[in-house]
């Protein structure tokens, strides 16, 4: 929800409210430290966005707003992925009665991100050992430098997905029509409380944008 | 010369050291095998040889130069690493280009590249594939291609990570010949392997790693005979050595291969032992 609000925000004041809420939620869900890593990582992009905006000719205020929007998008989505495991996502989507194949594709995609990252690092090591210097040359050359990393990465991912499909089929994936889960999710009192709080926050935020023009 | 002095290594965000107080010297003309259980730090160690990883503490010197002051590309010219999974390096449209990739990166001249690639194709029996896509090769051929693509630039040290995985007997024999040939050219071969029998046939200097520490470093026979070290690293004795430990426990030079074993056995029988 904060994610969508970040896209809605238009003034610095609004973003200060959004960001402080994000930080507060990060704090109570104890992921602040890991979140800060993601944000540190995105700082370089942030700088890039800011500079490009200024170079293209927007004024500083607008560039700051765009940067703030970026950072709230990053931090709010990072909260989401840090606090909910792929399994929980799967259960939630199932309870929303989405088609299972769709759920499965989504959850697998999320789950394979770290594996693909690991692959990418190994490929990079492999190609650097063969004298590849990613940072060398002009812009065109640099883009070309990524080819020896991207091609194996894509090929590996395709091979992996094929293997995954075969391994799953050989374990009778899709055999039973009705799926059962080992875990089940139940909303507890504090979840309802959080839900109500978030909804109030979002509604009041939107209302105050439209009626109070803050 | 690779010279490692009390090397400690950990990833910047990790708490525990992966390598602890590793000191080694690997000279030219040596065959060295590094063995150890999974996660003992073997691959992490060899990544220090060409500067892919830099030591957290201690130093790694390659031909007298600290790896911290040198780029991976320039170190790789002399230290060729061949990784375990061919899928992590194959990307070109043809086998020829795959072999030439590194040589172009090192800025060699065209006729040298042509000569070296031609040599590699012939030496590794890949000539008939020179214009096919490397992705269409079989698993064993891909592995051979990766080895060929490193030997093509003629590095002084060849470091092989699990070279025998998925290879049939003949390919292993061929690999053994390649290693022997490299040694006669005063080059060094370092292999990381779990393949006890393959290592035994090579009779290398053997280094055992456990939990990031070197626990044994010495002649193959001595290290394999050390029961405690074997258990610590989760490796078994080569079958020939095991047999001879049972038959003649105090034999000074256990046989290296079956022919050797036959001769030793016949001699012992003749002596009536």
Chain A residues whose CB is inside 8 A of the B47 CB are 125
Chain B residues whose CB is inside 8 A of the A135 CB are none
Interface residues on B facing A, Cβ-Cβ cutoff 8 A: 47, 50, 52, 71-73, 76-77, 80-81, 83, 85, 87-91, 101-102, 105-106, 135, 149-150, 153
How far from B1 is each of A58, B64, B78, CA to CA, in Å? 57, 7, 10
**Interface with A, mutate which of B105, B116, B143, B153 (most A CBs under 10 A):** B105
Q: Nearest Cβ partner of B52 from A128, A131, A152?
A: A128
How far from A52 is each of A46, A75, A204, B193, CA to CA, in Å? 10, 21, 34, 50
**What three-state secondary structure class fits B134?**
helix
Cβ(B63)–Cβ(B55) below 8 Å: no
* Nearest partner of A110 among A82, A149, A71, judged by Cα: A82
Q: Distance (Å) from the C-alpha of residue B76 to the closest C-alpha of chain A?
A: 6
pLDDT for residue B178: 92
* Interchain pair B150, A130: CB under 8 A: yes
pLDDT for residue A11: 66
**Could you list the pLDDT tens digit for every one of the 214 residues in chain A?**
555 555 666 666 677 777 777 777 777 777 777 777 777 777 777 888 888 877 877 777 788 887 887 877 787 777 777 777 777 777 878 778 888 888 888 888 888 888 999 999 999 999 999 999 888 777 788 888 888 999 999 999 999 999 999 998 898 887 777 777 777 777 777 778 878 888 888 888 778 777 776 5
Q: Nearest Cβ partner of A152 from B76, B81, B90?
A: B90
Q: Distance (Å) from the C-alpha of residue B160 to the closest C-alpha of chain A?
A: 12
pLDDT for residue B77: 93
Nearest residue in B to A126, CA atom: B89
Mean pLDDT (whole number) for B195-213? 93
* Interchain pair A152, B77: CB under 8 A: no
Q: Distance (Å) from the C-alpha of residue B245 to the closest C-alpha of chain A?
A: 41
Lowest-confidence pick of A192-206, B158-172, B207-221: A192-206
What 8-state DSSP symbol labels residue A42?
A: H
Lowest-confidence pick of B122-126, B209-213, B242-246: B242-246
ipTM exceeding 0.90?
Answer: no
Mean pLDDT (whole number) for B178-204? 94
Mean pLDDT (whole number) for B222-244? 89
**What three-state secondary structure class fits A189?**
helix
pLDDT digits (tens, 9 = 90+) for B59-111: 999 999 999 999 999 999 999 999 999 999 999 999 999 999 999 999 999 99
Q: Nearest Cβ partner of A151 from B91, B149, B150?
A: B91
* Interchain pair B47, A125: CB under 8 A: yes
CA distance A5 to A8: 5
* Interchain pair A131, B106: CB under 8 A: yes
Cβ(B210)–Cβ(B34) below 8 Å: no
Mean of the per-residue pLDDT values of chain B: 91
Q: Nearest Cβ partner of B81 from A119, A129, A148?
A: A129
pLDDT for residue B155: 95
Q: How do B188-192 and B157-161 pair as beta strands?
A: parallel
**Interface with B, mutate which of A117, A122, A131, A157 (most B CBs under 10 A):** A131
Cβ(B98)–Cβ(B149) below 8 Å: yes
* Interchain pair B50, A155: CB under 8 A: no
pLDDT digits (tens, 9 = 90+) for B109-134: 999 999 999 999 999 989 999 999 99
Nearest residue in A to B106, CA atom: A131
* Interchain pair A130, B47: CB under 8 A: no
* Interchain pair A130, B89: CB under 8 A: yes
The structure's pTM equals: 0.78
**Interface with A, mutate which of B71, B87, B104 (most A CBs under 10 A):** B87
* Nearest partner of B50 among B77, B75, B84, judged by Cα: B75
* Interchain pair A132, B90: CB under 8 A: no
Lowest-confidence pick of A182-191, B54-63, B153-162: A182-191
User: Domain-by-domain residue ranges, chain B?
Assistant: 1-78+157-167+179-235, 86-154, 238-273
Chain A residues whose CB is inside 8 A of the B70 CB are none
pLDDT for residue B112: 95
* Interchain pair B83, A125: CB under 8 A: yes
For residue B158, the cross-strand partners are B80, B189
The per-residue DSSP string of A132-161 comes to --TT-SSHHHHHHHTHHHHHHHHHHHHHHH
Q: Nearest Cβ partner of A152 from B72, B89, B105?
A: B89
Provide, rounded to the nearest whole percent, the portion of chain B with pLDDT above 90: 74
Q: Distance (Å) from the C-alpha of residue B108 to the closest C-alpha of chain A?
A: 12
Chain B residues whose CB is inside 8 A of the A130 CB are 76, 89, 101-102, 105, 149-150
B207 pLDDT higher than 70: yes
What homologous superfamily is domain B1-78+157-167+179-235 in, according to CATH? P-loop containing nucleotide triphosphate hydrolases (3.40.50.300)
């Amino acid at each position: 929800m904060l994610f969508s609000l970040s896209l809605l925000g238009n003034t610095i004041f609004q973003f200060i409210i959004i960001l402080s809420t994000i930080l507060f939620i990060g704090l109570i869900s104890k992921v602040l430290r890991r979140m800060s890593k993601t944000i540190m990582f995105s700082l370089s992009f942030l700088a890039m966005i800011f500079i490009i905006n200024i170079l293209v000719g927007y004024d500083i205020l607008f560039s700051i707003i765009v940067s703030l929007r970026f950072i709230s998008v990053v931090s709010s989505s990072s909260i989401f992925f840090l606090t909910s495991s792929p399994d929980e996502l799967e259960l939630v989507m199932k309870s929303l009665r989405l088609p299972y194949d769709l759920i499965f594709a989504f959850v697998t995609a999320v789950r394979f991100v770290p594996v693909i990252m690991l692959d990418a690092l190994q490929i990079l090591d492999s190609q650097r050992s063969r004298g590849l210097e990613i940072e060398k040359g002009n812009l065109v050359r640099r883009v070309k430098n990524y080819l020896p990393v991207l091609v194996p990465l894509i090929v590996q991912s395709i091979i992996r997905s094929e293997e995954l499909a075969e391994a799953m089929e050989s374990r009778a994936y899709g055999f039973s029509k009705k799926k059962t889960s080992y875990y089940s999710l139940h909303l507890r009192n504090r979840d309802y409380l959080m839900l109500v709080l978030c909804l109030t926050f979002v509604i009041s935020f939107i209302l105050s944008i439209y009626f109070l023009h803050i | 010369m690779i010279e490692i002095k009390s090397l400690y290594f950990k990833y910047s965000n990790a708490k525990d050291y992966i390598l602890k107080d590793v000191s080694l010297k690997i000279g030219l003309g040596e065959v060295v095998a590094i063995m150890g259980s999974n996660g003992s730090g073997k691959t992490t160690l060899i990544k220090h040889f060409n500067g892919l990883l830099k030591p957290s503490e201690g130093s790694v010197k390659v031909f007298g130069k600290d790896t911290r002051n040198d780029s991976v590309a320039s170190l790789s010219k002399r230290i060729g690493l061949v990784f375990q999974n061919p899928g992590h390096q194959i990307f070109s449209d043809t086998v020829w280009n795959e072999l030439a990739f590194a040589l172009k990166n090192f800025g060699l001249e065209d006729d040298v590249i042509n000569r070296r690639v031609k040599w590699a194709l012939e030496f590794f029996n890949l000539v008939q594939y020179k214009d096919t896509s490397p992705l269409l090769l079989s698993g064993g051929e891909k592995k051979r291609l990766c080895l060929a693509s490193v030997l093509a630039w003629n590095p002084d040290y060849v470091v092989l990570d699990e070279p025998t995985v998925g290879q049939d007997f003949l390919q292993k024999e061929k690999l053994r010949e390649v290693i022997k040939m490299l040694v006669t050219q005063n080059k060094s071969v370092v292999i990381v392997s779990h393949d006890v029998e393959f290592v035994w046939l090579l009779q290398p200097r053997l280094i055992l790693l456990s939990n990031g520490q070197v626990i044994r470093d010495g002649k193959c026979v001595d290290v394999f005979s050390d029961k405690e070290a074997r258990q610590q690293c989760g490796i078994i004795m080569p079958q020939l050595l095991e047999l001879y430990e049972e038959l003649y426990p105090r034999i000074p030079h256990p046989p290296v291969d079956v022919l050797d074993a036959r001769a030793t056995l016949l001699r012992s029988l003749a002596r009536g032992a």
